[in-house]
């Protein structure tokens, strides 16, 4: 790596040299690395090929899961959620004790490793809501039920500037990793006033097809809104929303 000097700064490639900007500096480097054909065919790179196969499988699974849950994710996720979820799914794949290296899969791995995954690394669900929730999933009916039971919301909800109410979102998704398909249902609760001192039970039911043979994922999100003339406006800050994986049910 070398720094570019002079008035004209270059970006792009000329021959075996690449010119680019990083951290405010203009840099240059020569083409390096191992030839692609050698990586594909040389026995010495067998481990590299195996790792690449499994990483690609994790990336594909991450994209499918994010697409399935894109409605709640769009409101709450941080800008690194794709790479973080891929990393966690790679751990799921590596937990596969049945298949050989390079052939391990999400379905044969340990999907429970995604339990508790926070889609917003800046704000966890437990950081916002200081009361426990319960979740149940009935595979026979396809119904997921989440209950958040407040004794005193004013003490059990974190204060967010401008946040008059909180609404909860439950998403349940049955995901077919083999065929790259999914079924999803997303339901949002009524508003809970952040200043209320009265007991409130939030009970949300969401469902997928009865008797599904696919892995099912349940997420719970909380978002703060400002109330203006009876309308709710989502607070525009990462500290005002959270989303977590609260249940995973495998057949």
Q: pLDDT per residue over 151-206, tens digit each?
A: 999 999 999 999 999 999 999 999 999 999 999 999 999 999 999 999 999 999 99
24 part of a folded domain? yes
Give the residue from 189, 208, 211 showing the smallest Cα distance to 72.
189
Which pLDDT belongs to residue 206? 97
Domain of 167, in residue numbers = 125-249
| Phi-psi sector, 22: left (phi>0), alpha (psi -120 to 50), beta | beta
- Residue 65's CB is within 10 A of a number of other CB atoms, namely 24
Rounded CA separation 245/117 (Å): 5
- Both tokens assigned to 199: 């007991």
The CA-atom distances, in angstroms, between 228 and each of 72, 75, 155, 165, 231 are 23, 20, 23, 11, 5
**What length is written for the chain?**
251
Does residue 163 lie in a domain region? Answer: yes
Are 169 and 109 found together in one domain?
Answer: no
Counting as low any pLDDT under 50, the low residues of the chain are: 1, 45
The string of pLDDT tens digits covering residues 111-129 is 999 999 999 999 999 999 9
Please check whether residues 165 and 151 belong to one and the same domain. Answer: yes
Instruction: Establish how many alpha carbons lie within 13 A of residue 3's alpha carbon, considering only the half-sphere containing its beta carbon.
Output: 6
User: In the prediction, which pLDDT does 66 show?
Assistant: 97
* Same-domain pairing of 135 and 204: yes
Considering the domain architecture, whether residues 25 and 100 belong to the same structural domain is answered as no
pTM value is: 0.82
* Same structural domain, 245 and 129: yes
pLDDT confidence of residue 51: 72
């Amino acid at each position: 790596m070398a720094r570019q000097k002079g008035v004209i700064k270059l970006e792009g490639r000329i021959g075996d040299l690449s010119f680019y900007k990083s951290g405010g500096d203009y840099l240059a480097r020569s083409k390096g690395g191992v030839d692609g054909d050698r990586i594909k065919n040389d026995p010495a790179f067998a481990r590299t090929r195996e790792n690449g196969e499994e990483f690609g499988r994790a990336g594909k699974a991450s994209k499918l899961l994010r697409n399935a849950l894109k409605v709640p994710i769009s409101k709450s996720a941080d800008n690194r959620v794709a790479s973080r979820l891929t990393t966690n799914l790679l751990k799921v794949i590596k937990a596969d004790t049945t298949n050989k290296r390079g052939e391990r899969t999400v379905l044969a791995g340990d999907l429970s490793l995604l339990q508790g995954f926070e889609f917003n690394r800046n704000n966890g669900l437990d950081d916002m809501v200081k009361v426990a929730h319960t979740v149940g999933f009935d595979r026979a009916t396809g119904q997921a039920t989440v209950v958040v039971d407040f004794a005193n919301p004013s003490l059990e909800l974190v204060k967010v500037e401008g946040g008059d109410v909180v609404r909860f979102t439950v998403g349940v998704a049955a995901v077919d990793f083999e065929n790259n398909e999914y079924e999803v249902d997303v339901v949002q609760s009524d508003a809970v006033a952040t200043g209320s001192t009265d007991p409130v039970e939030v009970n949300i039911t969401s469902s997928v097809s009865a008797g599904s043979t696919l892995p099912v994922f349940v997420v719970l999100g909380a978002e703060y809104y400002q109330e203006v003339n009876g309308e709710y406006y989502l607070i525009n800050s990462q500290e005002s929303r959270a989303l977590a994986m609260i249940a995973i049910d495998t057949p």
